[in-house]
Amino acid sequence: MKRIALSILALFVFAGMAIGIDQVYLTNKGAQIVNPGQLHTNRGAWATFDSATASAGDEPNDLAVGERTYALASAAAEGGDSKILFLTLFSPERQNWNRLAFRCTGITNDQQIIYQMYKGTLGSAAGTDCALVKVAQLTFTVGQQVSLTATYEYADTLAVTKYHGREWLVSSPASDLLAEGDVDIGNADVIVMVPTTVPCNCILEVSGY
């Protein structure tokens, strides 16, 4: 009889724990309430990387090994290499991003546009410096699919040369379709893009999730 009573008690305890777990809700880094028992995906809209258009000519050199810090790259950009692009991930939307996806548009068909990608971890919006790690080289070739930006067309091929970090997921369909690549950025909270080859005006687009 005692064993039966203990079994019934254990059953009620287990049921109570299950109900309690189902009601546990946590907050993510963006202070959004989430249920840990459900899958949550933050889908960022496509936007221009650093709100900038790269113009043909006068491309910056790639960062030398002695320049690969956030402070030095920022100084280079302010000192004349203004085409160096920066993206920080401290806003409520962006700080939940684990992966970044990239597209590119240009104004001239069949032109190759090349970006050198770096990542770093400032730790907070108040951070002023960190090491930059060269992640990859992205080579886009412009196709003819129209974009939302007048006169610009999407790249239809993308070749990624990986130097560090996770494997890339690359869609490079050619045939005037839309090329895209995305990668897990680990614990990075700042991304730096250096457009080393810009034969025509172009825009790098980014989205996160």
CA angle centred on 58, ends 55 and 60, rounded to 5°: 100
What is the distance between the alpha carbons of residues 45 and 84, in angstroms, rounded to a whole number?
Answer: 22
Beta-carbon-side half-sphere exposure of residue 30 (alpha carbons within 13 Å):
16
What pLDDT does 68 receive?
97
What pLDDT does 180 receive?
98
Where are the domains positioned within the chain?
2-34, 47-208
What pLDDT does 36 receive?
61
Series of mean pLDDT values for 10-residue runs along the chain (209 residues): 52 47 50 58 82 84 95 87 90 89 97 97 95 98 94 97 96 98 96 96 95
What is the distance between the alpha carbons of residues 116 and 172, in angstroms, rounded to a whole number?
Answer: 18
Q: What is the pTM of this model?
A: 0.81
Number of H helices, E strands in the chain: 2, 12
What pLDDT does 20 receive?
46
What pLDDT does 44 receive?
74
Q: pLDDT tens-digit profile of 90-107?
A: 998 888 889 999 999 999
CA 57 and chain centroid, separation = 26
Of 154, 143, 149, give the one whose Cα is nearest residue 105. Answer: 154
| 92 token code pair | 């409520």
